Each structure stands twice: as structure tokens, then as C-alpha cells.
Structure 1
Amino acid sequence: MSSTQGLSRESFWAIRVISSSPEKTRELGGLLSGFVVPGTFIALFGPLGTGKTEFVRGFAESLGIRGVKSPSFTFVNIYERDGIRLYHFDLYRAEGQVDVEDIGLTEALARRDGFIFMEWAERADWLPPERLDAAFAHAREHERAIELLCYLEWFDGDGFLDSLRERAFRYEIY
């Protein structure tokens, strides 16, 4: 199912994308990389095994970064290629709310030299208001539903939809 309605450059929009495999989830992450700029914060939500790390891996691979792993034991892994960084935070092992200052998020946001992903973002004590949220859930048998909520005024939503259509992703706008 897809919609022909556009998103334009609204300051908020929501879309649900269906991924049929880990490869499609990585492809979606890679696709997103063409529509965001260094300094973008992407909050990832959802239970274990729904594709959050695959999504980050696909994004990273589109930048030429290989070997992305979940940073569950260190809270953050930082990857770099050609002067662009990818900050991959993971709060899975955090107990209670995490002070973002303590894990280096504030510094990463201030640097604006890369892309910032945070898995288990619901465990952070603060999230920047200008961000992209990606909520992952199990759908049918091997499918994942990925809800993207965009709070970025500059994001080219129509271009993103065009790219989803070109790559035969199923999606709906709401």
C-alpha cells in the first residue's frame, strides 16, 4: 500500500514503511542517508530484534563505513570516514533514565560533524526537539513496520517518498 499524497517540507510528518527483510531495512537506512545532513539526530525505538542496528548499518554502509555493531557495552561507538562521523549510541543496558551529558550526546550534537543515532532512545532523559524518530515493530511473519516521525523543517519529504516508490517500499502516510 502506498500513498500518492506528498509531504512537502512540513515541520512534522509521519510515515510507516514496511520492510520485508533485514536487507530491505539496511536499504531503508541507506536511502535515508541521502536526505539528511551532518548534525542530524535520529532516535530509534523498539524491542529487540526489530532491525534498529540493521537500519544504522545500512546508513553507515552508504557512507562507506563498514563493521557497524551494536555498542551495547560501551553506550557509544564512533565511526569515521572522509571526515564524517557516525555516532551510534545504544542505551539498552542502561538502568533507568540516562543523562545524555554523561554519555557524550551533548558534545556530539554540538560538533555537528556527523550523524547521531540513538537506539533505545526512550531511556534518554532528553532528546533534541529537531530530530527524526524511527519506531521499529514486528509486523507479519518476517516483516518489520518502521514508523518515521520527522521533526526537521528542512527535510525533503517528497523526495524521500519518490525514493521509496522507486525502490518499491510499501508505505503509508498518516
Structure 2
Amino acid sequence: MSEEHEIVRNLGQYDEASIRRRRLFLLLRQLVIILVAFSCFCLFISGLFGVPQSFVGEWWMKPPRYPNALPYEYKEGWMRREGEVCLMTSPAVYCYEYYYRTADTIEQVVEYYESVEWPFHAPIEFEWRRGRRFGSKNWVAEDNIWVFSNIIGYQIIVHPSPDGDTEIYILERGGMGDYY
């Protein structure tokens, strides 16, 4: 009988090893909960500021490069260099500018872009108007799509260069809200 009383009396007590194991388990569980909560907070903030949309935009809306064009580097004041991140007046998620030159005529470049097969995209269509760069009117093609609250898109400008060949300017951009 005294043996049964001893078992009942020690039923609610734990030895040191099980207490340490239980504390470690509780600490690890709290750490995992904190890490998951912090990760969810970071995902929420990045979604709020459009970070996932910028990755989608860079992958989805990158227009094809003209096959015979060579990257060209501008050295004038406000013009950026080939492939450099550009500045926008609106709150942009991302913005890249590329400058190319080719010996082909403007008509050849426009015809190439208007006939290019770009899966899951509307055909590229050029119109004679002002673009985001170069003060005068040029051949401009542009397309934008909405991903949640962000707009992502591209603009291609084709115009004659001062040296007699053809310049191709490509702007890739993504921003929160509207650009205009």
C-alpha cells in the first residue's frame, strides 16, 4: 500500500531531464511562432510596397531585344547608361532603361517588333507620338498590365540617331498606381 501512495504522490512531479526537455520544446515552439509571424509581416509589407509585382513585371513584361542591335552608352547629362536603373517621378517599384543602336532602318525595326511572336502578349503596335524620352515625336510602342494595385509595362521608342543609324530605347517599369 505504501508503494501505491508513493506512485500517486510522485504522479505530478517530473525529473530534471524531462523539465529541461519541456522547457526547450516550449522555447523552440515560441521561436518558431515568432519567426513565422515575422515572415508573414515581411511578406505583408513587401506585398504592400509591390515587391512581388516587380518580380512578375520584370519577368513578364520584358520586351524582346532587336536581334541586330548593339548596346549603346549615353554620356550626355540626364541620359542614363545602357541597362541602368532609371529615376521616375512616380513611386516606382522598378525601372530599367536600355539603349541600342543598329544599322537597320527605322522601318525595319518597327516591322520586326510589330511581327514578333511574343506568347501571351498583345501584338506590339507603334504609333507616331512623344514617348517618355526624347522631346520630339518618334515611333513609340507601349503596353501595360495591372497586377493587383501595381501597373507594370514597357515602352519602346525607335528614332534616328545623330550618326545616321537607328536608336532603340526600351523602358521597363513597374509602379504603384498610374504612371501618368
TM-score range, shorter chain: under 0.3
Task: State the TM-score, normalized to the length of structure 1.
Answer: 0.26
Higher Cα Rg, which structure: 2
Higher RCO (CA 8 Å, separation ≥ 6 residues): 1
Give TM-score, length-normalised by structure 2.
0.25
